[in-house]
Structures are given as C-alpha cells and as structure tokens.
C-alpha cells in the first residue's frame, strides 16, 4: 500500500506560479478600480520601457548584459573582487570552489536589504567608501574573505552553522563599521537572520551536508556537479524548503512560517491559502545570484524566466516615479508603512505583475527577443528606478517602509 503524504498548505505558496497568479489577481482588481491606494496607467508602459532601454544601453553599450545578481555589487567601482576570490581559492577542487562561491553568495544576499541613507562602508583595500547595496555587498565580501563566517581558522573561505550561531549584532556592527555615527538599518534583525540561517543549515543536513554550510546546495542540486543542468524553479524550491524557517515575518499558517507571504483582500485563491500573496523576494534574489556560481561550475541553469520580477522598492519605485502607478491620495507618500500593510503588499504585487508586462516591451526596444528577465532587471529596471529616486529624492524610495532589514 502506497502512503501519500500531503504537503502542508504553505507549500502551495512556494512556487513562482503562485506568485504570478496572486499578483495578477491583485493587478486585475486595481485595474477594475477597486483599490483604495493605486491607479494603473498602462499608457505609460511604452515610455517606461524606452527609459529602461536607454539606461541599459548607457550602462552596457555592447548589450552584453549580465544577470541581476549579488555578484554585480562585488564589482563595485569596476574592481574585480571575484578574481581576488579565485586567487584565494587556487589549488582547491572545482567542487570546493563552487561551494565557496555559493557560501559567499548566500550569506551576502541575506545581508542585503535596505541599508538606509546614512550608512556607508569604507573599504581599506580600495580606499573607497560605499553606500547602500554596493556597500552591503563589499562589506559582506570583505567579512567572508576575513573568515568571519567560518568556525575553522584553517579554512576561512566558507560559511558554516557553527560560526553563524555566535554571530550577534555587535559582531556584525564591527564587520560593517556600523555605530551611532554610521547607523545601519535593521542591524539586530540581520544578525538574527544569520543565526537562524545556521539553525536551518543544521536542521537540513540532507541538503547542506555534515558541515551545515550553504555551499553544499551545489552537491544536492547538481549531484556533486555530475548533473550538468539545473532548473531555476528547482533551485528556488530547494532554498524555500530548506531555508524557509529563517523568515520570521509573522505570516504563518497551521504553525508553519510562510516567510515573505502576506494577506491582501484581492489575492484570490481557494482553500487554506486563499487571501495570501507570496513574493519570496530575497529567496528569488538569492536564486538569481546563484545562476553564475552554478554556470561557473559547468552547470547550466534552465527555465530562468520562470522566476518573477523582484518586488522591491527600486523596481516598484520605477513604476511610481514614471507614472505607471499613481497614488489615489498624495498623502500616502508621507506616511511610514509596515511591510505587511495592504498598501505595501499591493505595491509589491503590482510591481511583479507590471514588470512582467514591461519586459517584452524592453526586449522590443533593445531588439533582443530572448533577453532573460534577470538581464532586464539588471540593465534595467532596478538601475532606472534607482536613478529616478536619486534625481527626485536623493536616493530615497517614493514610499517609506518600516522594515527590520529582512524583507526589503
């Protein structure tokens, strides 16, 4: 007799199909005029696509556009920090190199959420002070190279659960040069997230190995490199199944943490998951950032465009600042919103749905019919959103979000 074990309802919200479906439901409701917060002007999509294409051509004149990835931040100011890493990894096996690159990617992405306008990181090696995402990327790279996430001083270039278990806000503040004069948004939340990462790695040794390190994901997904292709949705699902417990957003069902999943009255759906909108923004950002480490190890990543646009404030800000979205009440721009508020959930859902509509228009503008979504984001929507924010508000997003540094 075969026993079928039913998945918990939360599992149904871990797919990119569910993300697109629920975000589409919200967008349809806003289009129908039922939103209290936003209007959509699709007539602005063509002009927005032209802006994104112009920014892309300026940033990548040869149109050799890389993925939107944490690895771009490791290239800040044109410095090839990956080459420095590769020199440090010289002599190791190809498998061990792949694990180290993935270790770095995972810990750095989990430390990547809005840093706030006041914080910066001064890199001793270059003499340059970096802010925002580039600062977080460079700071986490330097911490990794110093062995800050390894419990074995003889093997510093790794991340393991034993080291993460002892990482507190004071340690992270030292690594990121944060303090009263250089405040980093959500510092305690970031440190707690890394400790929870250590717990999840330990709890899922079938995926993350005896050392409980993120890099063992490569062995699990690619069968120690013997499997020469891996589907992006499969990588994402492994991340969500193995690391889902680290996202303590307060959203839960039947005692199971849902992570970056939120209530919205127009989410739709049926059964136990009705009314929930999944995003899994940082998990998808992590998945995008793993494309290159897998490819560098000889494993092709397939089905890349089944991941969704990233619902964060640069992409969402592009839509607001360029008129695709407008607020029904201008006063909303001066209010600080919780990440789980109806307005923010709606803004993020509209970001996913409308960037899916924008992507083919950008491809047409650039004349590249098969340009991956990850490259459109990089070229692209994220950069154009940041440029508009800098021009209009000195870099701040168009809406103010209260966050602990683990969602945005």
| Co-location of 34 and 52 in the same domain | yes
Domain that holds residue 191: 69-225
pLDDT of residue 225: 67
Which residues does residue 278 pair with via DSSP β-bridges, in sequence order?
A: 261
User: Does residue 92 share a domain with residue 48?
Assistant: no
Q: Does the bond joining 258 to the residue before it have cis omega, within 30 degrees of 0?
A: no
> Average pLDDT of 320-349?
96
pLDDT at 181 over 90: yes
Residue 53's Cα: distance from chain center in Å? 22
Which pLDDT score is estimated for 405? Answer: 60
| Domain shared by 94 and 189, yes or no | yes
% of the chain beyond a pLDDT of 90: 82
Q: Tell me: do 111 and 183 sit in the same domain.
A: yes
The residue among 164, 198, 225 that closes a domain is 225
CA separation for the pair 250, 213 (Å, rounded): 26
Residue 47 and residue 75 in one domain? no
Cβ contacts of residue 343 below 8 Å, gap of 6+? 37, 332, 337, 399
User: Of 177, 210, 225, which marks where a domain is finished?
Assistant: 225
Read off φ and ψ for residue 278, nearest 5 degrees: -85, 145
- What phi, psi does 257 have (nearest 5°)? -65, 130
Residues 30 and 133 reside in one and the same domain: no
Q: Are residues 217 and 265 in the same domain?
A: no
Question: Are 214 and 201 members of one domain?
Answer: yes
Dihedral, 96, 97, 103, 108 alpha carbons, nearest 10: 170
**How do residues 164-173 score in pLDDT, each as one tens digit?**
999 999 999 9
Query: Does residue 322 share a domain with residue 340?
Result: yes
pLDDT in tens, 3-45: 344 566 678 899 999 999 999 999 999 999 999 999 999 999 9
Three-class SS of the chain: CCCCCCCCHHHHHCCHHHHHHHHHHHHHHHHCCCCCCEEECHHHHHHHHHHHHHHHHHHCCCCCCCCCCHHHHCCHHHCCHHHHHHHHCCCCCHHHHHHHHHHHHHHHHHCCCCCCCCCEEEECCCCEEEEHHHHHHHHHHHHHHCCCCCCCCCCCCCCCHHHHCCCCHHHHHHHCCCECCECCCCHHHHHHHHHHHHHHHHHCHHHHCCCCCHHHHHHHHHCCCCCCEEEHHHHHHHHHHHHHHHCCCCCEECCEECCCEEECCCCCCCHHHCCEEECCHHHHHHHHHHHHHHHHCCCEEECHHHCCCCCCHHHHHHHHHCCCEEECCHHHHHCEEECCCHHHHHHHHHHHHHHHHHHHHHHHHHCCCCCCHHHHHHHHHHHHHHHHHHHHHCCCCCCEEECCCCCC
Q: Which of 206, 225, 244 is the last residue of a domain?
A: 225
- Please state the domain count of the chain: 2
Judge contact between 356 and 309, C-beta under 8 A. Answer: yes
Clarify whether residues 250 and 285 are in a common domain. yes
CA distance 119 to 17: 37
User: H-helix or E-strand containing 401?
Assistant: strand 400-402
Residue 1 has pLDDT above 70, yes or no: no
Strand partners, 230: 301
pLDDT digits 0-9 by tens, 67-96:
999 999 999 999 999 999 999 999 999 999
Task: Say if residue 304 is in the same domain as residue 379.
Answer: yes
Handedness of CA 14, 33, 31, 43 (dihedral sign): negative
285-311 pLDDT tens trace: 999 999 999 999 999 999 999 999 999
| Token pair recorded at residue 42 | 């699709």
- Per-residue pLDDT tens digits for 233-257: 999 999 998 988 788 777 777 777 7
Do residues 274 and 242 share a domain?
yes
Query: Does residue 206 have a pLDDT over 60?
Result: yes
Write the DSSP string, 164-215. Answer: HTT--HHHHHHHTT-BTTB--TTHHHHHHHHHHHHHHHHHTHHHHTTTT-GG
pTM above 0.75, yes or no: yes
Q: Write out pLDDT tens, residues 116-149.
A: 778 999 999 999 999 988 999 999 999 999 999 9
pLDDT over 80 at 284, yes or no: yes
């Amino acid at each position: 007799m075969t026993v079928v074990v039913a998945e918990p309802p939360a599992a149904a919200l871990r797919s990119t199909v569910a993300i697109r479906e629920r975000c589409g439901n919200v967008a349809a409701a806003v289009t129908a005029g039922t939103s209290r917060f936003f209007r959509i002007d699709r007539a602005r999509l063509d002009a927005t696509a032209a802006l994104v294409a112009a920014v892309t051509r300026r940033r990548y004149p040869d149109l050799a556009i890389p993925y939107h990835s944490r690895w771009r931040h490791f290239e800040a100011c044109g410095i090839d920090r990956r080459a420095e890493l590769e020199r440090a990894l010289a002599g190791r096996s190809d498998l061990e190199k792949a694990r180290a690159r993935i270790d770095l990617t995972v810990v750095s992405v989990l430390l990547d959420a809005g840093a706030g306008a006041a914080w910066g990181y001064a890199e001793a090696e270059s003499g340059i002070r970096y802010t925002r995402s580039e600062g977080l990327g460079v700071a986490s790279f330097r911490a990794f190279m110093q062995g800050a996430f390894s419990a074995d001083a003889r093997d510093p270039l790794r991340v393991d659960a034993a080291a993460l278990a002892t990482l507190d806000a004071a340690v992270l503040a030292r690594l990121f040069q944060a303090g009263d004069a250089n405040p980093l948004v959500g510092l305690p939340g970031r440190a707690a997230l890394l400790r929870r990462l250590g717990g999840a790695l330990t709890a899922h040794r079938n995926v993350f190995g005896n050392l409980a390190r993120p890099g063992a994901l490569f062995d699990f997904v690619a069968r120690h490199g013997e499997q020469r292709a891996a589907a992006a949705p499969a990588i994402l699902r492994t991340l969500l199944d193995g690391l889902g417990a680290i996202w303590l957003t307060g959203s839960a069902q039947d005692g199971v943490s849902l992570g970056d999943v939120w209530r919205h009255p127009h989410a739709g759906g049926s059964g136990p998951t009705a009314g929930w909108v999944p995003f899994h923004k940082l998990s998808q950002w992590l998945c995008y950032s793993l494309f290159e480490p897998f490819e560098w190890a000889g494993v092709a990543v397939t089905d890349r465009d089944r991941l969704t646009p990233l619902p964060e404030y640069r992409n969402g800000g592009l839509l607001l600042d360029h008129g695709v979205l407008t607020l029904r009440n201008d006063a909303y721009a001066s209010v600080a919103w919780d990440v789980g508020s109806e307005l923010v959930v709606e803004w993020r859902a509209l970001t996913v749905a409308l960037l899916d509509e924008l992507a083919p228009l950008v491809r047409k503008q650039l004349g590249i019919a098969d340009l991956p979504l990850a490259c459109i984001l990089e070229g692209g929507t994220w950069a154009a959103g940041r440029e508009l924010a800098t021009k209009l508000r000195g870099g701040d997003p168009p809406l103010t979000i209260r966050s602990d540094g683990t969602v945005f």
